[in-house]
Structure 1
């Protein structure tokens, strides 16, 4: 069954998302970019909330070019973006080095930006092939880098996304999708065989920088479960 991931910035939002039924909680600061990292103290508080419920913790760690800090402890998913890396010849060895700093039980996630040209990120196929050759990477995330330029389907049509999903699944990896998805576009993403639907703005009271709303999380969980059935 497809799972719903909700990005939160603090412990209170984590509790709200958990109570709304989210399957995966992701620690992310929306005001610091597509994969903005939360401060260490906030991350610790979020982890404590999830430990009480035995739910997986996903963490956004920023962009590789910005030399992200790797937190201590186990992260179910660890996401590092590749904005600017098409201009860095040795980005693959740099990313491997950072991934190797993760706890042994943590899973690195390969991140594709749908607007990869604007983000100066490597192409989707290049990232898929890199991830497929890394034993610890079992998940590929397709997201948008610049939230001002439209959602995921502004950059990829359904056929393009489905083709990438087929390529990812054929290499025994799962697909997570994000990028300003809402109740109208989530079924489209699921129709493209996404394994994880990741949201922030759709679960907020208003804009993506506002607080997480439990009622909206619950409605999104119901939508994902209904569409999966």
Structure 2
């Protein structure tokens, strides 16, 4: 049995970082501004430059983009232009526990964005591993909503970026359960949240589709510093080694 290759997603904030992420061997390019939080949105000006760059260089890797948190969209009157090359979109669900119906708010915003752009996107539901601290729905609740809303995938990430990473917050059993359930319903699963090289061995028995990194791709492993091709390449090699060797042995 040859399991699917685990893909590497790298989050970048500008054109310089796109080149480094691609040189290091990433499979998916994700756009976000780390200074604006877990799913910080890149500003409109940077987005336009990024879109032009991807077009000019004929970039074929799928593109995804963070849109910040759902609660920020409820009072947003102007709609940022989402480049037409974007395939996947994701919205964080922090501070939604107090909303009586976060699912309908979430659908409302996603529909508004699609109406404005006159097209459909592949939505990725975001479950925070530290959901209690983020005042968000639990990963199982988010997955149920994602299945009902026909999302393309589930991202399991961390809201707070200093301190505990994904593997500190959720057990392997829990991650495995989420992944298997998502797969039964045809959703892809991406794992992110301060994932380091040292976490890959522990993650290798489970079957995520995508591993997403930012800090591990940056110089000095700081998510606010620059993406370095060498860091991406090192992670890519370790990913191949751990997952391939685990599943072929």
Q: Please give the range of the TM-score, normalised by the shorter of the 2 chains.
A: over 0.9
CA RMSD of aligned residues (A): 1.5
Displacement after TM superposition at 1:105 (Å): 4.2
1:45 to 2:49 alignment = yes
Which consecutive unaligned segments of at least 5 residues does structure 2 have? 245-249
Displacement after TM superposition at 1:150 (Å): 0.7
Instruction: Tell me the equivalent position of 1:181.
Output: 195
Instruction: Return the TM-score normalized by structure 1.
Output: 0.94
Aligned with 1:4 (options 4, 8, 17):
8
Displacement after TM superposition at 1:48 (Å): 2.9
Aligned with 1:108 (options 94, 108, 123):
123
SS in 2 for 1:43: helix
Instruction: Tell me the equivalent position of 1:55.
Output: 61
The separation in 2 between residues aligned to 1:50 and 1:192, in whole angstroms, is: 33
Instruction: Return the TM-score normalized by structure 2.
Output: 0.87
Which consecutive unaligned segments of at least 5 residues does structure 1 have? none
The separation in 1 between residues aligned to 2:101 and 2:85, in whole angstroms, is: 27
The separation in 1 between residues aligned to 2:141 and 2:90, in whole angstroms, is: 17
Instruction: Tell me the equivalent position of 1:83.
Output: 94
Displacement after TM superposition at 1:125 (Å): 1.4
Tell me the alpha carbon deviations over residues 45-77 of structure 1, each in whole angstroms, 9 at most, x when there is no partner: 223333322121110110001116453324211
Tell me the alpha carbon deviations over residues 149-180 of structure 1, each in whole angstroms, 9 at most, x when there is no partner: 31001111211111111121122111100000
| Contact 2:200 2:242 (8 Å CA) reproduced | no
SS in 1 for 2:239: helix
Instruction: Tell me the equivalent position of 2:247.
Output: none
Instruction: Tell me the equivalent position of 1:64.
Output: 70
| Contact 2:51 2:85 (8 Å CA) reproduced | no
1:216 to 2:231 alignment = yes
The separation in 2 between residues aligned to 1:227 and 1:31, in whole angstroms, is: 31
The separation in 2 between residues aligned to 1:165 and 1:184, in whole angstroms, is: 21
Instruction: Tell me the equivalent position of 2:106.
Output: 95
After superposing on structure 2, the runs of 4+ consecutive aligned residues of structure 1 that deviate more than 6 Å are none
Displacement after TM superposition at 1:188 (Å): 2.5
Instruction: Tell me the equivalent position of 1:16.
Output: 20
Instruction: Tell me the equivalent position of 1:153.
Output: 167
